[in-house]
Chains A and B, each alone.
Chain A
Amino acid sequence: MKRLVVVLALAALALPALAAEKVKVTFWHAFGGGRTAFIQRMVDDFNYTHPGIEVKAEYKGSYRDTLNAAILAARQGNPPHIVQIFEVGTQMALDSGIFVPVEDYVPAILKFQLEDYIKPVANYYRIKGKFNSVPWNSSNPILYYNKTIFKKAGLDPANPPKTFGEVMEACKKIEATKAAPKCITWPLHSWFVEQWIAEQGALLANNENGRAARATDVYIDSPAMRRIVEWWKAMYDKGYYVYSGKPEDWDGANQLFVSQQAAMEITSTSDVTFMQNAAFENGFELGTGFLPIPDGVERNGTVVGGASLWLTKGHPQDEMTAALTFLIWFTNTENMVRWHKGTGYFPVLNTSVKVLEWQHWFERNPAYRAAFDQLLQTKLNRATQGALLGPFPEIRTIIENMIQAIFQGKPIDQALKEADAAADKALKEYNAAVGK
């Protein structure tokens, strides 16, 4: 009897091991809150329809935390299979040597999906002709404006300002009519500076934005930069521009706009869904428009922001195949439609866009229209491709410090020169550290 129990118990232990020889794939991402749950629902769907594979999605904190965690895990020899990395971490991810270029591993029969990416997105993520990662969440900055305040100020609610000068004019009216306490806000973030440089068709770094060869010189002391900071400083001095006082404070800017302290906000298109809900709750009418650009320059378009999915190296063949199967499924036509509707991030496949158009999605949701048109009208050149810089996070901080220094009254000439030197030094040190 005793023996029988032991045998049965052993059998019971062995059974699940025999039954579930699933290939396990780990996926680390940086989306907290409601998006964690949204991703989990998609992953559950995948696991349900792919009985041989079990994907485990884990939220790892901010973009930076996720990248740090992946590097540390790789050093210990146990990296996750798939890691979400923000766009400015692209050069860093390439240099870290812990990833493989995804395009080399996509089976021929699925290559069609890589050809399906909308041009601006492919333009950013295709480096030297090859996708090193799978584009996933992509966004741009756009102008959100409060139509209710616009009407009060006597501005045309169907016609938001398109240039720096027009923003200034609108602000003058809003101030004169006291339609809102402040005119416009956006986070004090280098991302907007990078966008405005691209809009002017200018480069942020040498060697064609670091795309033709590794960048060795950052262009901060440039006419394009000067146009941006001169306007920004004037807006700040006149009290038209307002921010929470903390750099990179996305929530602070949203709070100012949503509480109707400011009539306009420039921020990411990934907030469209959030803004629509907030406008409804706070009882104002929301409008969206293109990112306002410097006067007298041709509109080149924006750089794709967001993140992509990277595949780490050093896994057995079956796990690599399973991870790729998931990656391709996760970003396929129908899932991109679902992702766009759930978050506001761009549908990055041409076929997804066709599905959405067929559903008259953009007519029914005009707020998404501006975001998407701006992306599709972007000219494809080195400027809008975006810079590839290893120490991008540090250079962003240098640019943000520069802007704060200019607000405090540092002469623009001197501020640009100093920031340019600091950024060049950061780049030199980074290049030396990675041995290039």
Chain B
Amino acid sequence: METETHAAYKSRWLPWILLLPTFVILLVFLYYPTLETFRLSLYRVAFLGIRKTFVGLENYQDLFTNPEYRRIFWNTVVYSSLVVFFSMAVGLFLSVLANQKVRGWRFYRLMLIWPYALSPAVAGVIFLFLFNPQAGIVNYFLDVLFGIRPDWLTHPGLAMFVLVAAAVWKNVGYNVVFYLAALQNLPGDVLEAALIDGATPWQRFWKVTFPLLSPMTFFLFVMNTIYAFFDTFPFVDLLTKGGPNGATNVLIYNIYRDGFEFYKTGMAAAQSVVLFVGVVILTVLQFRWGERRVHYGG
């Protein structure tokens, strides 16, 4: 290693100098805010920091004993699991279909990827219109077909469904892109061998294709988890505002609310730390448990 570095760079310092901008950016925009968040979580803060009182772990104590917050944690787990599972399952299903050489495949693929190009805010507004109880097109068709008009956003379960649907719809395109790429790179000889051995399409998929896709599945699992935790704020804000009665209040939305609407910066910081630790643990677990099952092929 030593010799290699010296071969590339004459000076010992040059690589460090070249890395410096990256470090500065990381330090200013990533490490400093992270540390500051940890620090603030130990304070009771008024007015975004004009006044601070050290309270130790009081914020955390409140977080873990208050039933409201426990409910938020639970909502987050339910919401994230549903979003991750369905956006990957639907993504895989659609990409297997789109991988077939049917007429107009280019068009199908484009249409599948297209929702990903929309911003979450636009997607949120589209779903708001679709699921509007009185004027939405979903209820119009349900009324015509079955004579029912559910109040989508007033019922806790239905509101959660709409949110999950919106988040899944938005992210399926991303999964389709990656799964399609993976499907196209599968070794044809293995599938051919399976075909010759008389495996049914069902067997071929679950015994050959799916295991071969496992590296991609693993990668997408990590990415979708991050998406479900961090990037779904606009859907909650636009569609339900955490309602009805906090049934769709997830952690990322509540952090914003506590921090910038209710001015409880200390509480918001404590929740950010919990979210941070949760995602770190999850990622470590995913690598520990996931890697073993992943088959990287030859």
A residues whose Cβ falls under 8 Å from a Cβ of B: 64, 68, 71-72, 74-75, 92, 95-98, 181-182, 242-248, 252, 255-256, 259, 261, 391, 393-394, 397, 400-402, 404-405, 407-408, 422, 426, 429-430, 432-435
Contact A433/B134 with A95-B46, A408-B156 known, Cβ cut-off 8 Å: no
CA distance A408 to B155 in the complex (A): 8
B44 lies within 8 A of A433 (CB): yes
**Chain A, residue nearest B249 (CB):** A401
* CB contact under 8 A between A429 and B241, given known A71-B47, A95-B47, A435-B51: no
Contact B134 A435 (CB under 8 A): no
Give the 8 A-B CB pairs with smallest separation, nearest first.
A245-B153, A404-B245, A433-B46, A404-B244, A394-B262, A405-B245, A245-B154, A401-B245
Residues of B within 8 A of A394 (CB): 261-262, 264
Q: Which residue of A lies closest to B68 (CB)?
A: A422
Contacts of A407 in B (CB 8 A): 154, 244
Contacts of A71 in B (CB 8 A): 47-48, 50
Residue of A nearest to B62 (CB): A429
Q: Which of A244, A393, A402, A404 contacts B132 (CB 8 A)?
A: A244
Q: State how many angstroms separate the Cβ of A203 from the closest Cβ of chain B.
A: 23
Check B262–A391 contact: CB distance below 8 A. yes
User: In the complex, which residue of chain A has the Cβ closest to the Cβ of B152?
Assistant: A245
Shortest distance in angstroms between B133's beta carbon and chain A's nearest beta carbon? 6
Are the CB atoms of A248 and B241 closer together than 8 Å?
A: yes
Interface assignment of B234: CB less than 8 Å from any CB of chain A: no
Are the C-beta atoms of A72 and B246 separated by less than 8 Å?
no
What A residues does B239 contact at CB under 8 A? 246
Q: In the complex the two chains form, what is the Cα distance from A255 to B134 in whole Å?
A: 10
Contact of B44 among A64, A244, A391, A432 (CB under 8 A): A432
Q: Which residues of chain B are within 8 angstroms of A429 by Cβ–Cβ distance?
A: 44, 264
Q: CA A245 – CA B151 in complex, angstroms?
A: 7
- Name the contact of A261 in the complex, choosing from B45, B135, B241 (C-beta under 8 A): B135
Contact across chains for B243 and A400 when beta carbons are under 8 A apart: yes
Least CB distance, B147 to chain A, in whole angstroms: 14
Bound CA span A64–B128, Å: 23
Q: Is the CB of B46 within 8 A of A181?
A: no
Could you write out 30 A-B pairs with CB less than 8 Å apart?
Answer: A64-B261, A68-B48, A68-B260, A71-B48, A71-B50, A98-B50, A242-B134, A244-B132, A244-B133, A245-B152, A245-B244, A246-B153, A246-B241, A246-B243, A256-B135, A261-B134, A261-B135, A391-B263, A393-B261, A394-B262, A394-B264, A397-B262, A401-B243, A404-B154, A404-B244, A405-B245, A433-B53, A433-B264, A434-B46, A434-B47
Which one of B68, B133, B257 lies within 8 Å of A245 (CB-CB)?
A: B133
The 0/1 profile, CB within 8 Å of A marked 1, for residues 259-286 of chain B is 0111110000000000000000000000
A341 to B184, CA, bound (A): 65
Q: Report the separation of the CA atoms of residues A348 and B263 in the bound assembly, to the nearest whole angstrom.
A: 31
Assess whether A72 is in contact with B48, with CB atoms less than 8 Å apart.
yes
Interface residues of B (CB under 8 A from A): 44-51, 53, 68, 128, 132-135, 151-156, 159, 239-241, 243-246, 257, 260-264
By the criterion CB–CB under 8 Å, are A244 and B153 in contact?
yes
12 further contact pairs, Cβ within 8 A, besides A71-B48, A244-B153: A71-B47, A71-B50, A75-B50, A181-B134, A244-B133, A255-B135, A397-B261, A402-B245, A404-B245, A429-B44, A430-B263, A433-B44
Q: How far is the CA of A255 from the CA of B49 in the complex (A)?
A: 39
Report the minimum CB–CB distance from A299 to chain B (whole Å): 31
A182 near B134 with CB under 8 A, answer yes
* Bound Cα distance from A391 to B260, whole angstroms: 12
* Docked pose: A401 CA to B48 CA in angstroms: 25
B244 near A408 with CB under 8 A, answer: yes
**CB pair A245 B159 closer than 8 Å:** yes
Residues of A within 8 A of B156 (CB): 408
* Contact call A393/B243, Cβ cutoff below 8 A: no
User: Smallest CB-CB separation from B258: which chain A residue?
Assistant: A394
A75-B46 in contact (CB<8A): no
A71-B261 Cα distance, complex, nearest whole Å: 13
Q: Which residues of chain A have C-beta atoms less than 8 A from B48's C-beta? A: 68, 71-72, 75
Q: How far is the CA of A309 from the CA of B120 in the complex (A)?
A: 34
* Docked complex Cα distance between A98 and B48 (Å): 12
What CA separation (Å) do A75 and B152 show in the bound complex? 43
**Closest approach, in angstroms, between the C-beta of A421 and any C-beta of chain B?**
11
Q: Distance in Å from the Cβ of A424 to the closest Cβ of chain B? A: 14
Q: With A97-B50, A394-B262 in contact, do A247 and B243 touch (Cβ < 8 Å)?
A: yes
Smallest CB separation, A93 vs chain B (Å): 10
Write out the residue numbers on chain A whose beta carbons fall within 8 Å of the beta carbon of B51.
433-435
Quick one: given A255-B135, A261-B134, A261-B135, are A408 and B245 in contact (CB under 8 Å)?
yes
Residues of B within 8 Å of A408, CB to CB, are 154-156, 244-245
A255 to B132, CA, bound (A): 11
Report the separation of the CA atoms of residues A211 and B38 in the bound assembly, to the nearest whole angstrom: 37
Which residue on B lies nearest to A64, using beta carbons? B261
Rounded to whole Å, the gap between the CB of A240 and the closest CB of chain B is 14
Instruction: Give, as a whole number of angstroms, the nearest-CB distance from B266 to chain A.
Output: 8
CA distance A242 to B139 in the complex (A): 15
Contacts of A404 in B (CB 8 A): 154, 243-245
The interface centre, meaning the residue of B49, B135, B244 with most chain A CB atoms within 10 A of its CB, is: B244
CA distance A393 to B241 in the complex (A): 14
| B46 neighbours in A (Cβ, 8 Å) | 95, 430, 433-435
Bound: A97/B48 CA distance, A: 13
Chain A residues near B68 (CB, 8 Å)? 422
Minimum C-beta distance from A66 to chain B (A): 12
